[in-house]
């Protein structure tokens, strides 16, 4: 982070700490050890971000209202976590938060570092599919360094999807449902995307990047035509705009809780939470995986997160990855 960015964050931190009170330009200048002209430039930059800052030649500056944005200062000000969000990197636009997170991880970024973007222009979901990521959504990645083996990597997508479902359940009137492995649906339409990537040795994960995208406040007419029958936003389904910062903070806190639960209580506890929202098990499904199409009864999920499908001939098939369609689902 540049010195200019750091100083601007310090200005914002001081204004937040003295909310509804005036701080003189001279005091800000002295505390930051910069000129009053530089302070004025920081104030102007904050105003451009949407901060309402009153100014008086006699009294100084006063923060009147903060925008609902996911800036590092806004996130860290009220975040109640022990690990996630220890460092927050924010970008207006990125090709992919996962790509940036992997780059940071390779440079020894701390576990819990969060990369968040206002917009992604090259977001990817499972199976390499492009993901629609406009400004109204939440697009972020978390760097994790669990003391676990590489074959446990799939468990983290379950951690993420349970955290997201619980957050939606807690903060909105919508009813979230999980379709195996990690799709969150509301009224039968997808509202999220989760992508896990890792670097590992033979028997140890070096780092794991957990990418999460949430269709939060996106109008239905913004979606590409090929997604309108398959995807929606939480705003559309709840009928109201959702405060972005509050939702993001709650999601990070829930994600940390599930991550710690995985490490202390095991994957079985995560699956218990997953099953509370699951709509896959017990239903007739069609699974497309590795150019193979299977139709049968979704019976259970094993301790690796694989879907167990009972075929018509009684054979039990373990599905590692693929697209699942419920027999009642619209296509």
Per-residue pLDDT at 290: 77
Q: Which domains does the chain have, with CATH numbers?
A: 3-65 (1.10.10.10), 72-277 (3.30.930.10), 284-326 (2.30.30.100)
Distance CA 185, CA 237 (A): 10
Q: Per the annotation, does 120 bind a ligand?
A: yes
* Residue range 30-49, pLDDT digits in tens: 999 999 999 999 999 999 98
In DSSP terms, 294 is beta-bridged to 287
Which strand (E) or helix (H) includes residue 326? strand 323-326
* Residue range 249-282, pLDDT digits in tens: 999 999 999 999 999 999 999 999 999 999 999 9
Which strand (E) or helix (H) includes residue 5? helix 3-17
| Lowest-confidence region among 52-61, 76-85, 284-293 | 284-293
Distance CA 172, CA 218 (A): 15
Per-residue pLDDT at 129: 55
Per-residue pLDDT at 330: 43
Asked if residues 252 and 81 have their Cβ atoms less than 8 Å apart, the reply is yes
Give pTM, 2 decimals. 0.89
Q: Between helices 267-277 and 155-171, what is the axis angle to 10°?
A: 50
Which structure tokens are listed for 73?
């200062």
Calculate ∠ Cα 325-326-328, nearest 5°. 130
* Residue range 114-132, pLDDT digits in tens: 999 999 886 555 445 556 7
Per-residue pLDDT at 26: 95
Q: Report, as an integer, the average pLDDT of 52-56.
A: 95
Q: Per the annotation, does 240 bind a ligand?
A: no
Asked whether the bond before 219 is cis by omega within 30 degrees of 0, the reply is: no
| Coil vs helix vs strand at 60 | strand
Q: Report, as an integer, the average pLDDT of 139-159.
A: 96
pLDDT band at 3 (very low <50, low <70, confident <90, very high): low
Q: Report, as an integer, the average pLDDT of 4-25.
A: 88
What's the mean per-residue pLDDT of the chain? 91
* Residue range 173-192, pLDDT digits in tens: 999 999 999 999 999 999 99
In DSSP terms, 88 is beta-bridged to 114
Examine the pLDDT at 329 and tell me if it is beyond 80.
Answer: no
| Lowest-confidence region among 46-50, 178-182, 232-236, 244-248 | 46-50
Per-residue pLDDT at 1: 55
Asked if residues 104 and 91 have their Cβ atoms less than 8 Å apart, the reply is no
215: phi > 0 → left, psi -120 to 50 → alpha, else beta; which? beta
Q: Report, as an integer, the average pLDDT of 217-242.
A: 91
**C-alpha of 238 from chain center:** 19
Q: Report, as an integer, the average pLDDT of 295-304.
A: 94
Which structure tokens are listed for 6?
């750091």
Q: Per the annotation, does 290 bind a ligand?
A: no
């Amino acid at each position: 982070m540049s010195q200019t960015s750091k100083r601007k964050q310090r200005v914002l931190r001081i204004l937040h700490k003295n909310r509804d009170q005036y701080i003189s330009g001279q005091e800000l200048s002295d505390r930051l050890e910069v000129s009053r002209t530089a302070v004025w430039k920081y104030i102007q930059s904050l105003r451009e971000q949407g901060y309402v800052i009153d100014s008086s030649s006699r009294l100084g500056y006063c923060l009147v209202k903060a925008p609902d944005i996911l800036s590092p200062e806004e996130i860290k000000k009220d975040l109640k976590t022990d690990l996630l969000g220890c460092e927050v990197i924010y970008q207006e636009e990125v090709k992919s938060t996962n790509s940036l997170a992997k780059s940071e991880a390779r440079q020894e970024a701390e576990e819990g570092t969060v990369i968040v973007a206002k917009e992604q222009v090259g977001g990817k979901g499972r199976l390499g599919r492009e993901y629609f990521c406009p400004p109204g959504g939440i697009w972020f990645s978390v760097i994790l360094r669990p003391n676990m083996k590489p074959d446990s990597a799939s468990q983290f997508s379950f951690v993420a999807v349970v955290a997201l479902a619980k957050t939606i359940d807690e903060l909105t009137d919508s009813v979230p449902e999980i379709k195996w492995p990690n799709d969150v649906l509301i009224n039968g339409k997808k509202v999220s995307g989760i992508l896990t990537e890792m670097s590992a040795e033979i028997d140890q994960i070096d780092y794991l990047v957990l990418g999460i995208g949430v269709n939060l406040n996106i109008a239905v007419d913004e979606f590409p035509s090929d997604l309108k029958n398959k995807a929606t936003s939480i705003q559309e389904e709840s009928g109201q705009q959702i405060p972005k910062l509050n939702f993001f903070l709650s999601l990070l806190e829930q994600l940390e809780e599930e991550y710690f639960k995985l490490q202390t209580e095991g994957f079985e506890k995560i699956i218990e939470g997953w099953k509370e929202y699951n709509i896959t098990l017990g239903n007739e499904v069609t699974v497309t995986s590795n150019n193979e199409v299977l139709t049968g009864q979704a019976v259970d999920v094993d301790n690796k997160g694989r879907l167990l499908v009972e075929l018509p001939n009684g054979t039990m098939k373990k599905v590692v990855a693929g697209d699942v369609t419920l027999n009642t689902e619209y296509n």
